[in-house]
Amino acid sequence: MSSEDLTARMYFDQGRQSFARQEFDSAADLMRKAVEVDPYFEDAHRYLAESYGKLGYSHRAKKAWEALLRVCKNEQQRAEIQGKLNQL
């Protein structure tokens, strides 16, 4: 789910570009800022978790997946997130 907050969207869009360029440190930093602005921004939580995973920060990735699980309402997505957590 995306955010209606323009600042959160700005951070997210920049972070997604960093992620696409495989600049995972930058992507994680920007996604962290996005979820600080909008703690319910599911897409930013997901990219944050994926960025931490790409960086090998499994503890941080786990925390990000857990944060996403807390805000996600879609049962199918919740099952997918739980699967990611079980892999860590």
User: For the chain, what is the domain count?
Assistant: 1
Residue 71 lies in a domain: yes
Q: Please state which of the ranges 2-11, 20-29, 40-49 shows the lowest mean pLDDT.
A: 2-11
Reply yes or no on whether the pLDDT at 1 is more than 80: no
| Full residue range of the structural domain in which residue 28 is found | 6-87
Residue 1 lies in a domain: no
Residue 73 lies in a domain: yes
CATH code assigned at 80: 1.25.40.10
CA atoms of 70 and 30, how far apart (whole Å)? 20
CA atoms of 45 and 56, how far apart (whole Å)? 17
Q: What's the pLDDT at 3? A: 85
pLDDT in tens, 70-88: 999 999 999 999 999 999 8
User: Comparing C-alpha atoms, which of 49, 45, 34, 46 is closest to residue 4?
Assistant: 34
